[in-house]
Structure 1
Amino acid sequence: MYHLIGLLIFSLLFISLFYKNIEKNNILLFIVFSFLFILASVRYNIGTDYIYYSVFFQSVKPLTFHPNYTFPSEYMEPLFMHIVALFKYIISNPIFYFSFWSFITLLFFWLGIKKESSNYILSVFILYCIFYHHYLFNTIRQGVVMGIFIYSVRDILDRNFFKILFISIVSSFIHSSGLFILLAYIISFVKVKSRLTIFGLLFLSIFVWKSGFGEQIFTIFAIKFQNVIPNLYMYVKVFFYDHSLTQISQRLLLLIPLIYYYPILSKDDKFSKLFSIYFFGTLIYFSFGFFGLFITRINMFFRILEILLIPMLYQRIKNNNQKIIVQFCIMIWCFTIMTWLYFKEAYYPFKTIFGNFY
């Protein structure tokens, strides 16, 4: 089922080769996002965090100002918990809350893609295959913030500091990764000068990882601030494992075409700024590769820019035959990655409030 939906979206991308108006068709974009929203809303017990969030949604009491009022979790951010508690006056069914947060996440992605993507269908295809199942079915709070990040790209590019500061602070009360939006704004001022610099920084980051130097810095920082950021120390204790060769290879394969065409693409100020942010995430990912899950989450936050960067590269291709080759390369990459869903009981079969789909 997962690949069938991906194939339907890909078919629109293929058709766009012959009907250019499909590439940035607002109605078509709305229809696809509406379908993705329905899919996320009717799921039942799908995602490794589903039970955790379901228990939380059930146990939250309607918000009151009574001094003895408490939330059932000390690890979730306050704005997220308060919004759920406010809605508890209206409805208590956990399915509503999964649907509500899916709507918020997809709304921001929809608005962001409408504003910034040079090819709506390609952006949605990458979003669905690489990020949708991770951040709408799982790690819900970070998914919301990643949607807000894409929505805020225009303000990052336009240097709207105070608006970005506001967005970043508010987002951090939904998930702490919201602070990365402000970090992305700061990084956007740094421009990578050449491909030689890019390769040099990549090799340096891998050296920091393999030498153990990055591990020492990270561990010291986590222990020193464990009272301030308890989750960080928890990641050090529980999720200490290296990246695999497959993960590293995948990141490098994604970077190769972007680096190869960097001299041409970087003439576009938008690409230059977004690539700086994206590349920073890659350096963090390589440098601290020993804390697999934690660093992967940071990396994925910046990787979401692929839904904008890859279409920018794709739109540079003028020949339809070349575009077909690129499309099928992207499809193979996306569909290969998406196969992991079939090996996780938390995702397959796809369970809904109406029954199972295979």
Structure 2
Amino acid sequence: MLLILVGFYTDKEIIHLDNKRILNPNIYLFLFSYFLFVIAATRVGIGTDYDLYEGIYYGAKESVLELGWGFEWISIIFRFFKLKYQYFIAFNSLIFIATVTYFIYKYSSYKYISLITLLGTYSYFSSFNGFRQFTSISLVLLALILFLEKKKWITGALLFLFSIGIHRSSLMFIPLFFINYITITRKMFISIMFVCLFSFFVIPEFIKNSIFNELMGMNDFFQEKYTDSIHAQGEERGITNKMFFLFYWITTFKVIIDKINTKEKVNLFDKLFLIYFIVNSFFPYSNLVKRISYFFELMAIYMLPKFISSHKSKIIKNALKMLVILIFFIRTIYVLNQNGDGVVPYETILYMFE
């Protein structure tokens, strides 16, 4: 509630004095990002990976378990300085929160909408469970920005290499470094979006699962290392998952088709979120898709504010803000009252304040 109410004072379209913001959006962003960092950094026993990696950290088993040379190097440095595991957790949380904060600072039209989206999409809470992967995808995002947006090719490439050293799933994102060579035309975009819509809602999951696993034999390729579970094994989607896909589809279609019609450049983040629809439409819904989507769904913190700002009417903009806030507020409360299931912390975050 505080996040929402204070956020209104950064938005001169809602609350203003002489058509000026009462609170600077960037100050708001950094204050609340710090608050989210403190919660993530000081959590104890919260998250499916917390206890697992605590034993690995104190037992120095990163090499034995082949967790990646980058992850092992960070652990060795922390152990060398005799730092407790909690500092290691805080460091990984810092990488994720700092990356997200920078991304919102540079590319979001409405900072408070982006932060609410971060909470409502599970991204923040999921980072408690798979913190090694979220550290990795944070570095991937920074690498892409440096490599493709800032033209700092060497720094971007080295950062991406380090992300692979932390979590090998980063290898799947190598093609993204060539994404700017693809020009999105009107016909291509409309075709992709409607084919994705058809595939997502019409083609049954068991057919996708049969093609992906039995015909292509991808089960063995994506086999989970520790629990011997199959990441590519498909499962049925719930109604909430389908509704959010449609919600994202509508917002993305509006933003990108407007850019094409006005001959504005379809940028890196537009293209990245477009891949979200391709992955979720053609791959069987599985742990594999969920893990890949962790990265692409981060683009929602850019896309939803962009969707709102693309409308000219202040009334429509404010109505959309209220809609987004309501949807993600309800979803966030739902998350805080759930435990486990690989989606949210085993203990609700609220327990930390009792």
Secondary structure of the 2:36 match is helix
Equivalence map 1:200-215=2 (5 Å)? 200-204=195-199, 210=205, 212-213=207-208, 215=210
**2:320 equivalent in structure 1:** 326
Unaligned 5+ segments in structure 1 are 1-6, 61-69
**1:66 equivalent in structure 2:** none
Q: 2:236 aligned with 1:242, yes or no?
A: yes
- Percent identity over paired residues: 18
Q: Kindly tell me the number of residue pairs found equivalent between the two proteins.
A: 336
Give, in whole Å, the separation in 2 of the partners of 1:350 and 1:73: 36
- The 1:58/1:211 distance shift into structure 2, 3 A limit, reads closer
Could you give the per-residue CA deviations for residues 1-37 of structure 1, whole angstroms, max 9, x where no partner exists?
xxxxxx2111233221334547863332221111111
Q: Which amino acid in 2 is paired with 1:146?
A: I
Q: 2:304 aligned with 1:316, yes or no?
A: no
Could you give the per-residue CA deviations for residues 143-166 of structure 1, whole angstroms, max 9, x where no partner exists?
123323443436424565555433
- The 1:149/1:225 distance shift into structure 2, 3 A limit, reads closer
Q: Once superposed, what is the RMSD of the aligned Cα atoms?
A: 3.1
Give, in whole Å, the separation in 1 of the partners of 2:317 and 2:231: 46
Q: 2:145 aligned with 1:145, yes or no?
A: no
**1:108 equivalent in structure 2:** 99
- The 1:324/1:270 distance shift into structure 2, 3 A limit, reads same
Could you give the per-residue CA deviations for residues 113-169 of structure 1, whole angstroms, max 9, x where no partner exists?
222223222222212332443343110012123323443436424565555433322
**1:275 equivalent in structure 2:** 270
Tell me the TM-score normalised to structure 1 length.
Answer: 0.81
**2:84 equivalent in structure 1:** 93
**2:148 equivalent in structure 1:** 156
Equivalence map 1:123-272=2 (5 Å)? 123-151=114-142, 152-153=144-145, 155-157=147-149, 162-190=154-182, 191-194=184-187, 196-197=190-191, 198-204=193-199, 210=205, 212-213=207-208, 215-218=210-213, 220-222=216-218, 225=221, 231=225, 234-236=228-230, 240-266=234-260, 267=262, 269=264, 271-272=266-267
Tell me the TM-score normalised to structure 2 length.
Answer: 0.82
Give, in whole Å, the separation in 2 of the partners of 1:289 and 1:340: 24
Give, in whole Å, the separation in 1 of the partners of 2:284 and 2:23: 37
Unaligned 5+ segments in structure 2 are 341-345
Could you give the per-residue CA deviations for residues 100-121 of structure 1, whole angstroms, max 9, x where no partner exists?
1111221222222222223222
Could you give the per-residue CA deviations for residues 28-80 of structure 1, whole angstroms, max 9, x where no partner exists?
222111111111122111112221122222222xxxxxxxxx63651522211
Confirm or deny: 8 A CA contact 1:112 1:153 kept in the other structure.
Answer: no
Confirm or deny: 8 A CA contact 2:254 2:307 kept in the other structure.
Answer: no
**1:4 equivalent in structure 2:** none
Confirm or deny: 8 A CA contact 1:189 1:273 kept in the other structure.
Answer: no
CA displacement at 1:233 relative to structure 2: 10
- The 1:231/1:24 distance shift into structure 2, 3 A limit, reads farther
**1:32 equivalent in structure 2:** 32
- The 1:148/1:115 distance shift into structure 2, 3 A limit, reads farther
Give, in whole Å, the separation in 1 of the partners of 2:117 and 2:82: 34
Secondary structure of the 1:343 match is coil
